[in-house]
Amino acid sequence: MGIFLQILIDGLVIGAFYSLIALGYTMVYGIIKLLNFAHGDLYMIGAFIGFTLLSFITGDGGLNTSVLGIGMIFVITMILVGFVGMGVERIAYRPLLLAPRLSILITALGVSLSLQYTSMNVWGASYKVYPISLPKNGFEIIGAHISYSQIGMILLSALLMLGLRLFIDKTIYGKAMRAIALDQTACSLMGINVYRIISLTFFIGAFLAAGAGIMSGIYYGTVNFMMGFIIGLKAFTAAVLGGIGNITGAMLGGFVLGILEAYGTFYLGGSWKDVLAFGILILFLVFKPTGILGAKEMERM
């Protein structure tokens, strides 16, 4: 039972990262039907900006234990990467919104490579060690050691997801997003600034991905310019698993994938970790392409 609980907690932490990134995939797809394969690289940009700011401020190690200082860097990083996401939408995607879907999909792949190799030139190709480390202290439950850092990351991720859920359900901008997802043309005729709402959607998606990036950097201790590629694909898998276009489904899919991956790694070995994740994606695309919470869409001809 101790091992079972330990793996479950590890899976929840990984799943929290997947969920935060998957939300960006599912929001953008819900609004403009784009699979933004550059989204995982915004996670990587967030990790590197967090690394840079933390390195600059904690040069003497003075803020290693300051929750307020780390929190400030956390928020600043998320906002900066949010604006990067808005810039990507404005420069690369907006001119192609009326173009064939294949054109904008190829552009997304180009944006992904551009972000990766720009980061390589700015921060270098080698792994970077994060300037702070998490404390290992925690508590024991039936033989499993659960650190306060793990609990904190799960709770922080849950708060970000809850905040997004409330924003979508309770604010005028969230209602505009849901309306545009249903009928973009009608929303434009009703006076909604469609481009502004799409830009806000990219900001929020990048904002959440940056949060996952800086938490991942602190949790694992190292970052590199290719770190967004695989986790971006896995977050896409989580979005499909939960039901692409469904906010709650993306959250659920991320946690389910993280838990399955953690148990699969323990029982099958680390070499099977990625095989398991993408095998789940293939199975869902074949047998239940709408995902756990997704619904079939009917389109009038």
Q: Mean pLDDT per 10-residue run, the chain (301 residues)? A: 84 93 91 88 94 79 60 91 94 88 90 94 91 79 83 92 92 92 88 92 95 91 91 91 87 92 86 85 86 63 41
Query: 203 lies in a domain?
Result: yes
Query: 141 lies in a domain?
Result: yes
Query: 281 lies in a domain?
Result: yes
Can you tell me the distance from the alpha carbon of 82 to that of 300, in angstroms, rounded to the nearest whole number?
35
pLDDT at 62: 45
Report whether 253 contacts 291 (CB < 8 A): yes
Residue 66: phi and psi, rounded to 5, are -90, 110
pLDDT at 46: 94
Total domains, the chain: 1
Closest CA to 37 of 127, 91, 114: 114
Query: 96 lies in a domain?
Result: yes
Query: 176 lies in a domain?
Result: no
Structure tokens at 132: 């702070």
- In a 3-state reduction of DSSP, which class is residue 138? strand
Query: 44 lies in a domain?
Result: yes
Strand partners, 145: 140
Residue range of the domain that includes 232: 2-152+195-287
Q: How far separated are the first and last CA of the chain, in Å rounded?
A: 55
pLDDT at 265: 86
Where do we find the tokens 């024991």?
140
Query: 295 lies in a domain?
Result: no
The letter for the amino acid at 128 is K
Query: 183 lies in a domain?
Result: no
